[in-house]
Amino acid sequence: MLSTWPTPMEAAPRLATAIGLHPDDLWIKRDDLTGLGGGGNKVRKLEWLVADALRQGADTLVTTGGPQSNHARLTAAAGARAGLAVALVMPGSGRSDLPTGNLLLDALFGARIIWAEDGPGPAALSAQAEQACAVLRDEGAVPYRVPFGGSNALGARGYREAGEEILAQQPGVQHVVSALGSGATMAGLVAALGPERVVGVDVGALPDPARVAAALASELTGRELTADQLHVRGDQVGQGYGVLYEPVLDAITTVAATQGVILDPVYTGRAAAGLVASILDGAIRPGERTVLLHTGGLPGLFGHQEAAHRIGQALRAQP
């Protein structure tokens, strides 16, 4: 067990009112409070993946992700918890400044960072990770490859469980809104809740996340699901993955000011902005029970220079 389950389901009446719902319509599922390593959605996937690694007799977890990857950070923490070494293959040279946010925590958890100058695409990184595994094997280690974002059918089981938890905590739920990155979070939710109730807000990590999420959900359930059966919003990507987007900054500010809950600019801020947009365009209406899934990502806020700069501007503008 990498955390304590179930995670809390908190009422969000002040946020609900601020964004046009009735006060008792909106709940936040606090998967940012999955104890391990600063918390977040990847912990649920890693429970399955690390158990598989141990079953296979592995001694080293190998995965990929950017320097501000929450997945990389939580793989590093899970390795520390399970007594496994961790190698993180990241794009870039690592020669820049002081580590911040997630990268700082990767170092704290004792992960080895392998800088893959070829990056930054997931495919190029994946090839570098395979190479790293080959080198580890030559050195006598037993590597276990954790997929990009922890997203394969095994990792997605963690979010089928989360979907079941949500149903137990909010039996009448009509909408569950979540960030959609590498796909397994949405896939698992769809497996538990069906495609109608789950809204995935694309963060721009993959070219076709709906297809990936549908394929993972199909694999998980054994029933064929197509991308067009899923509700995916693509309107919060802005200029691309990781780039600060104005409606996202607004959503982060509103959630913090009404609920004292912190979101991040890459994932959960986009989910909240997608929720706001869904209310504005009538896809979610007042009186409909809605859950915003908080998938974590807090360290990413401290690793995002532009977000820090913009939030700091508000501070400087104070009288």
Ligand X SMILES: Cc1ncc(COP(=O)(O)O)c(C=O)c1O
The residues with which 27 forms a beta bridge, in sequence order, are: 11, 291
- Share of the chain residues as helix, strand and coil, in percent rounded to the nearest 5: 50, 15, 35
Q: How far is the CB of 258 from ligand X (least distance, A)?
A: 20
Q: Is 179 in the site for ligand X (CB under 6 A)?
A: yes
Q: Is 245 in the site for ligand X (CB under 6 A)?
A: no
Helix (H) or strand (E) segment spanning residue 296: none
Closer to ligand X at the Cβ: 71 or 81?
Answer: 71
Q: How far is the CB of 302 from ligand X (least distance, A)?
A: 13
- DSSP state letter for 318: -
CA 129 to CA 126: how far, in whole Å? 5
CA 45 to CA 155: how far, in whole Å? 4
Find the binder of ligand X among 70, 100, 218, 290 (CB under 6 A).
70
Q: How far is the CB of 190 from ligand X (least distance, A)?
A: 12
| Per-residue x/- track, 180-219, ligand X (CB under 6 A) | xxxxxxx---------------------------------
Closer to ligand X at the Cβ: 149 or 163?
Answer: 149
Report the DSSP pairing between strands 290-294 and 175-180.
parallel
Q: How far is the CB of 182 from ligand X (least distance, A)?
A: 3
Q: How far is the CB of 59 from ligand X (least distance, A)?
A: 25
Closer to ligand X at the Cβ: 195 or 297?
Answer: 297
The residues with which 88 forms a beta bridge, in sequence order, are: 63, 113
Find the binder of ligand X among 91, 147, 163, 296 (CB under 6 A).
296
CA 243 to CA 173: how far, in whole Å? 32
Q: How far is the CB of 312 from ligand X (least distance, A)?
A: 22
Does the annotation count 96 as an active-site position? no
Tokens encoding 190: 């769809």
Strand segments, DSSP code E, in 207-289 are 231-233
Q: Is 66 in the site for ligand X (CB under 6 A)?
A: no
DSSP string, 54-70: HHTT--EEEEE--TT-H
Q: Is 100 in the site for ligand X (CB under 6 A)?
A: no
Q: Is 265 in the site for ligand X (CB under 6 A)?
A: no
| CB-based contact 29:7 (threshold 8 Å) | yes
Q: How many CB atoms lie within 10 A of CB 138?
A: 8
Identify the active-site residue in 3, 69, 151, 278. 69
Q: How far is the CB of 17 from ligand X (least distance, A)?
A: 25
- Nearest 5°: the CA angle 303, 296, 208 is 85
Q: Is 231 in the site for ligand X (CB under 6 A)?
A: no
Q: Is 220 in the site for ligand X (CB under 6 A)?
A: no
| CB-based contact 195:304 (threshold 8 Å) | no
**ω into residue 6 within 30 of 0, thus cis?**
yes
CA 73 to CA 47: how far, in whole Å? 14
Find the binder of ligand X among 37, 265, 297, 299 (CB under 6 A).
297
Q: How many CB atoms lie within 10 A of CB 241?
A: 17
**ω into residue 122 within 30 of 0, thus cis?**
no
Contacts with ligand X: how many residues (CB under 6 A)? 19
Find the binder of ligand X among 160, 175, 267, 278 (CB under 6 A).
267
Find the binder of ligand X among 128, 244, 295, 299 (CB under 6 A).
295
Find the binder of ligand X among 38, 122, 147, 149 (CB under 6 A).
149
Residues in 15-54 that interact with ligand X by CB under 6 A: 40-41
Task: Report the interface residues with ligand X, using CB under 6 A.
Answer: 40-41, 70-71, 149, 151, 179-186, 267-268, 295-297
- Catalytic residue IDs: 69
